[in-house]
A and B are shown apart, each in its own frame.
Chain A
Amino acid sequence: MAKKRWGKIVDLNKCVGCHACSVACLAENKVPNDKFRTKIIEHEEGIFPNVYRYTEKWSCNHCQKAPCVDACPTKASHYTEWGTVEVNPDLCIGCGYCVLACPYRVRVMNEREHGGLPEKCTLCTHRLEKGEKPACEASCIAGAIITGDLNNPDSEINKWMAKGAVERRPDLKTHPNVFIIPYRR
């Protein structure tokens, strides 16, 4: 059996910007005080009078060629066996270089009294391995999020891939495991 490669797709046409994923993530991962692993960013685009706005779920893209892993001086940021990016607390010195190196700005440093680790999405691999959905997907009221094994051609996520999923900032050549279906008016 092929190795698993966990991935995620967010459909911006379905996302309503309710912040449920954001709050569910805080509860599931016990994120310290006012930090977020996933948040909603708002886009306002178009030229008057044809203007429109939409929301986008914003979290770690789990790049296959991650700038944060390249930048980490102690190899604390590393790739897991499922292709996701995680931080090893035993090696992390809390220098903040990965937070600044991330071109998507998804990491935030915790204060020292909360461990001083960079706060980031783990794709809820602890839930995925038990066969459950990640907290964000389970809480999404619009069904805009799907996670699954990108290496399994029969999985639901690969059916979504065929609907026109694209990488964020493909020009950066980070090759993320998290895709989006862009907003179409």
Chain B
Amino acid sequence: MEHHFTWNYLIAIYLFTAGISSGAGIVAAVGYVVNGMDERLKRVAAYFAPFPVLLGLLCLILDLHRPWNFYKVLIHYNITSVMSWGAFFLLVFPMVAFIFAAMVYWNIDNVWRRIFAWLELIFGIAIGVYAGLLLAAIYNNPVWSNPLIAFLFFISALSTGICSLMLIGKVWDKIEDFVRKFLPSNWQPERILLTFDHKLLKRILIVDAVFIVVELMVISTLLISYALRPTGQVALGAIITGGYYLLFWIGVVLFGLTIPLILGIMEVGDKIKGGMAGIVPWAEPIMVLIGGFILRYVIVYGGQIVYPILTYYP
């Protein structure tokens, strides 16, 4: 039997960008619910959170086979369908995130900002978990029908969200100058100036290292839970020994998790000196982001090259 790829790389991009938005949104919301987070970090997170998921929504609509009908998913709901829940979350999250970003920008400090911080936290978690639950809810698929997929995608969403904030924060002033060029000369808002310094970057690297360790543990647990099932050979064959094994071991585990973890720990301990100093705040988040995308790619495609047990007669 040949493989029909019903879902392609556009779905992987969508799962990836939804994860980044979820992670950034959770950081922003936690920053305003709990006191003590750095002002620059939570502001960058609040401004950045609504945008990646919009790219993901565009990919999602481009992937539909009847794209002119896409609005039907927003008016017809099916309570038993995970995708229907996801459509609701994806409708609400960008609105909440935009309103919250506007409140942060204009320094509106009242009870409404607190309410929207909680809403952003709830819908951020919902989107992060939903991305994996969408795949985990499909049963009789050896790779996807595993609840740990949802947890893995959620941890990866937090990690990639934080890493994208690290990148954005490092070059925030340049982004701001770039955006101001496109605004009319009579409407130039005052400069915000939020570029992260090295001390803040190191603190973010520590948090990200914790998430990477948790992610490695979840991946190993996932592989064991595959192996314990009757269809385990098929699932492991698609991901770690055949099919997409190179992308998984080199792209995700080595390039996306292990090397960034080592780099991050070395940077925090000031072990990188000479010409290579200052490269980690660039290399670490870029590697984690690429690894996060490859993880989604491997899971989305790996779940479609496997054939489940179709026939079984008692």
Check A93/B6 contact, CB under 8 A, given A105-B308, A172-B140: no
Which of A65-73, A126-134, A149-157 lies at the interface?
A65-73
Task: Find out whether the CB atom of A75 lies under 8 angstroms from the CB atom of B65.
Answer: no
| Interface status of A56 (Cβ within 8 A of chain B) | yes
Chain B positions within 8 Å of A182 at CB level: 313
Name the residue of chain B whose CB is nearest to the CB of A75: B78
| Interface status of A53 (Cβ within 8 A of chain B) | no
| Interface status of A135 (Cβ within 8 A of chain B) | no
Name the residue of chain A whose CB is nearest to the CB of B308: A103
Instruction: Identify which of B6, B76, B82, B313 contacts A75 (C-beta below 8 A).
Output: B76
Chain B positions within 8 Å of A71 at CB level: 80-83, 137-138
Bound: A48/B240 CA distance, A: 31
Task: Find out whether the CB atom of A94 lies under 8 angstroms from the CB atom of B65.
Answer: yes
Name the residue of chain B whose CB is nearest to the CB of A115: B66
Bound: A113/B1 CA distance, A: 24
Task: Find out whether the CB atom of B69 lies under 8 angstroms from the CB atom of A73.
Answer: no
Bound: A33/B137 CA distance, A: 31
Bound: A14/B314 CA distance, A: 20
Chain B nearest CB: distance from A56 CB in Å? Answer: 7
Interface of chain A, helix or strand or loop or mixed? Answer: loop
Task: Find out whether the CB atom of B7 lies under 8 angstroms from the CB atom of A100.
Answer: yes
Per-position 1/0 for B59-82, Cβ under 8 A of A:
000011111011011001110111
Task: Find out whether the CB atom of A94 lies under 8 angstroms from the CB atom of B64.
Answer: yes
Bound: A122/B50 CA distance, A: 43
Chain A nearest CB: distance from B147 CB in Å? Answer: 16
Chain B positions within 8 Å of A75 at CB level: 76, 78
How many A residues face the partner with a CB closer than 8 A? Answer: 42
Chain B positions within 8 Å of A101 at CB level: 137-139
Interface residues of A in 149-185 (CB under 8 A from B): 166, 168-172, 180, 182
Instruction: Identify which of B6, B67, B137, B310 contacts A96 (C-beta below 8 A).
Output: B6
| Interface status of A18 (Cβ within 8 A of chain B) | no
Chain A positions within 8 Å of B159 at CB level: none
Interface residues of A in 55-110 (CB under 8 A from B): 56, 58, 67, 70-76, 90-97, 99-101, 103-105, 108-110
Task: Find out whether the CB atom of B72 lies under 8 angstroms from the CB atom of A93.
Answer: yes
| Interface status of A28 (Cβ within 8 A of chain B) | no
Bound: A180/B69 CA distance, A: 37
Task: Find out whether the CB atom of B65 lies under 8 angstroms from the CB atom of A91.
Answer: no
Check A94/B304 contact, CB under 8 A, given A73-B73, A169-B310, A182-B313: no
Task: Find out whether the CB atom of B72 lies under 8 angstroms from the CB atom of A91.
Answer: yes
Identify the A interface with B (CB < 8 A): 41, 43, 56, 58, 67, 70-76, 90-97, 99-101, 103-105, 108-112, 115-117, 166, 168-172, 180, 182
